[in-house]
Every structure is written in C-alpha cells, then in structure tokens.
Amino acid sequence: MTELNRLSIAAARDGLAKGDFSARELTQSCADAMAARGDLGAFITPTPERALEAADQADARRKSGDDAPLLGIPLGIKDLFCTEGVQTTAASKILQGFIPTYESSVTTNLLRDGAVFMGKLNLDEFAMGSSNTTSFYGNVVNPWQSTSKPDMELVPGGSSGGSASAVAARLCLGATGTDTGGSIRQPAAFCGITGLKPTYGRCSRWGIVAFASSLDQAGPMARSVEDCAILLGSMAGFDPKDTTSVDTPVPDYTAELGAGVKGLKIGLPREYRVDGMPAEIEQLWQQSAQWLRNQGAEVVEISLPHTHSALPAYYIVAPAEASSNLARYDGVRYGFRADAPDGLPEFASLEEMYATTRGEGFGPEVQRRIMIGAYVLSAGYYDAYYNKARRVRSLIARDFTHAFEQVDAILTPTTPSAAFGITEEPNGVEMYMNDVFTVPASMAGIPGISVPAGLSSDGLPLGVQLLGRPFDEVGLLRVAQALEDAAGFITTPQLMA
C-alpha cells in the first residue's frame, strides 16, 4: 500500500474500519513522508516512534471492537498545545526544554477519540506573526512554488505555518491550529488547505500557551471541509477548566454537509474591497459568489462599517493581553534562565535576572508586542488605548449582529495576496495587513473558515473566507462544502510527499 499519507481523514477512517490497512501502516506512511520532507521545517519536535506506538494501540483498540471517530488517524499538533511528556516550546527560546506534565484539553479530546500524534508543529514565536519567520527553531517553507520564480522559498503564512505546510505537503492527515487574528485561516489560504476558526468558547483554551486570551481559539486544519468537520467534532466541547468555555452540546458537524445552499442568503461586505488588492483576488471573490448563486443561494451586498477599525483595535488588544500573559516567563518556574552577565557570579538583583532572561529568551517580534502592550496598559494610557479598542470591538461585534439579521453567511477573500517569498516579506505595519480580512471575525468571536478556491496567475493557491453566526459551525460548514464542491480545487503543491 503506497501513499496512505495522501488520504483524506474520511477516506482513511473508512479504510481502517474495513481493514484495508492498519493504523501502523498509515502512520508509517506519514513518518516516511515527514522524513522525506524535513526540509520544509514544519516540525519542531517530530515524534514518529511515539506515533507508531500509538498506532499499535489504535490497532489493538479496533481489534477489541472500539470504533472511536479518529482511531488511528495521524495528526500534527501545533507546538502551542501542551502535550504531556513531549517538549512544548511555543517556538520560543524561553520555553526550550519545557516538557509539560499535563495534556491540553483539546489534545486530550483528540487522544480520547483515538488520534495518533506525529509530533509538534512549528509556528511563529508565541503565535505572533503571519509568515512563520519569527520561530526560534527556524522558518517553515510553503510546499507550493510559484511558476515565475520556482526557486524562491515562500512563506506558509502564520502563525500556524507548520500546521498548514505539513497538511498541504501530506505529512499528516490533519492538524490542530490556533487563531488569534487569522492564524488558522491565513496559512490555510497560503498553503491551499481548509482551516476553521470556531466560535470563541467552542474549543477549550486550557493547556494552550496563551497569546491574547479574549481572542485565542483552537481549530482544525485539513484537506477538506468534511475533514475539518470531523476534527472539530472531537476538538470541541465544554471544559470546566476554561472559564470562557461554553456549555452547549457538540453537534454532528458533518450532519448538513450535503444540504446545499438553496434558499440561503450570502452577504458580500463592500468594505472588504481594499485599495491595492490584486484584481485576481476580487475576481475569485466574485467567482465564488457566482458558484453559490448557481446552487440557489441569494447573494446580496452588505455593509460592515467598522471593518477598517478592526486591525488597529486588534493591535492594541492583542499586545495588551500578550504583555500580561507573557509576564509568567521569568526564568523561575520553567524554561530558559539567563546566566549572570559577563564573568559575574550572580545578578545584582532578582529583577535583573528576570529582565535578562526575558531579553535573551524572547525574539524581536515578541519583545515589540509586549512593549506595546506594557505601554498601552500603563497608567494614564489605559482608557485612551485599551478601553477605546474594547469599545471599537463592541462596534465591530454589532456590525456582525446586524449583518446576520439579513444574511446566513458572509463571503470574503481570506487574504489580500497569495503567499510571498521568505526574503521579500513586508515589514511592521505592512505585514500586519495580511490579517485585514481575518481580524474582524476574531474581534467579534464569530466562526470563520478558509476554503481553497483557485490559483493566482503565478500558480499559487488563493482562499476565500466564509463567516457565520456564533455557534453555527454546522451552517458555516454547509456553505463551505458547497463552495468546495463548486471550486473543485484539486491542484497539489510541488513539494509534496
């Protein structure tokens, strides 16, 4: 049996259930793929041996009559989820060597349902970035190559860049991601896969290294809408250990995948047409709307007036919460501790030990963001910045509430461009523009999914984003499936295993 690593989760599940192949054979196929494509830098800590042991246990469970939904399915885990006994770094030097003594709630749910973990996936340091170039453990490479410059290494997007690259390159069947301002949807679009950010509160945040607690949300990344639905069914659920976890039942997310979009109303927000956006992004957006119209949906233009306030408000809220969350890294309880300065046997003060540890342990982007956060939260500025941003957030959320009184789902581009070169990446605020279409949904807490819908003129994948009502992932996935069916995106990346 060859190329088992290229199967969808749905197909692999059927094959395992029928006994066409074993979990060990499937896992071995992914382990071989990972070894062959180590050059992508997708994994920080590959764990193929542990995975093969887990696969044997899955095969034994199946023999004894167990039919858990992910039994024997090989997944990659973003290295932001704490995994018991396996190093968890958040892609930062400051957590090098940290081996959690507990398992995050989301990965606990996946293990309960029989998943096999292939290892810990690379990301931007503390999930801060849109290109996966801020990891202490090296860049991740996008498995896609452009037709005009096939030798140029492209970014996979970020922060879940390792997840997107590994799934696109067929190193695992699916992966976990986390999304704070677009960290699932933007890399999914750049790598030609599907990524779902659920409603805030749907997946437990317990045991996930915190970035911005009012925005962080875990979600699935896979090669089809159906696979994302299957994964979300296992990842989601109420968790008393997360005070923002919502106590509502987990539905069957695959239930309405075939229901079509006839009679549904889809909104196109006029504010998502931004200056300098390539014509091909606009064309794909309109094409996607036409696909849904052809299947019986009604497409209407809507307005989300505060769209362009989302990004500046995000760059207050996220750094503010990050500066508070990252205060825990002080070199005392876990991770890296700096040595005393040149030749001195000890630090002059405990504070100097903290500051030196943090100065050496955090990379430049993280330092920039926690300084911004410390500044906007400091005395005299709290109201002007943080509370102002939270008020703007209320306006953004209200825009969506009004929109969903008129439409069932909202269709937008996922990103304003295709993947760019690792060496040609934009700087500072320009880089932040990558998330201009994904941040508003994060600020409002609503669910969003990116579906690959076509190729750029340079042969690179482009995604479109669908946004839905809070906790209506079932309805969102239904529209996403209709879009996937119409788009018929079957092109595969050049650097595939």
Partner 1 sequence: MSITRETVEQAARLARLTIADEDKDRLAGELSAILGFVEQLDAIDTSEVDPLTSVVGATARMRTDAVTAGDEPERVLANAPDRVTDFYAVPKVVE
Catalytic residues: 78, 159, 183
Residue closer to partner 1, measured from CB, 56 or 271: 271
User: C-alpha distances in angstroms, 245 versus 16, 201, 217, 329?
Assistant: 33, 4, 10, 25
> Helical H runs in 37-120?
48-63, 105-112
Minimum distance between the CB of residue 240 and partner 1, rounded to whole angstroms?
7
* Token couple for 421: 């070169």
**In terms of CB distance, is 268 or 316 closer to partner 1?**
316
Per-residue contact string for residues 427-466; x = within reach of partner 1 by CB under 8 A: -xx--x----------xxxx--------------------
Minimum CB–partner distance for residue 102 and partner 1 (Å): 8
Question: In this chain, which of 35, 112, 149, 240 binds partner 1, going by CB under 8 A?
Answer: 240
Residue 101 within binding range of partner 1, rule CB under 8 A: yes
Structure tokens belonging to residue 20: 């066409």
Q: Toward partner 1, which CB reaches closer, 62 or 393? A: 393
Binding mask 190-209 for partner 1 (x = CB under 8 A): ---------xxx--------
- Least Cβ distance, residue 382 to partner 1 (angstroms): 11
Q: Which stretch binds partner 1 (CB under 8 A): 25-33, 163-171, 313-321, 409-417?
A: 313-321
The rounded distance, in Å, linking the Cα atoms of 6 and 167 is 9
Among 147, 148, 243, 286, binds partner 1 (CB under 8 A): 243
d(CA 171, CA 82): 21
Q: Could you check whether the bond before residue 159 is cis, i.e. omega within 30 degrees of 0?
A: yes
Q: CB 203 → partner 1: shortest distance, Å?
A: 13
**396 vs 440: CA distance, rounded Å:** 7
CA distance 230 to 241: 24
Q: Is 265 within 8 Å of 297 (Cβ atoms)?
A: yes
Q: Does 387 bind partner 1 (CB under 8 A)?
A: yes
Subset of 25-54 contacting partner 1 (CB under 8 A)? none
Residue 147's Cβ-count burial label (10 Å; 0-12, 13-18, 19+) is: exposed
Q: For residues 367-386, which are near partner 1 according to CB under 8 A?
A: 367-368, 370-375, 378, 385
Is 404 a residue that touches partner 1 (CB under 8 A)?
A: no
Question: What DSSP element (H or E) covers 75?
Answer: strand 74-78
Nearest-approach distance from CB 390 to partner 1, in angstroms: 3
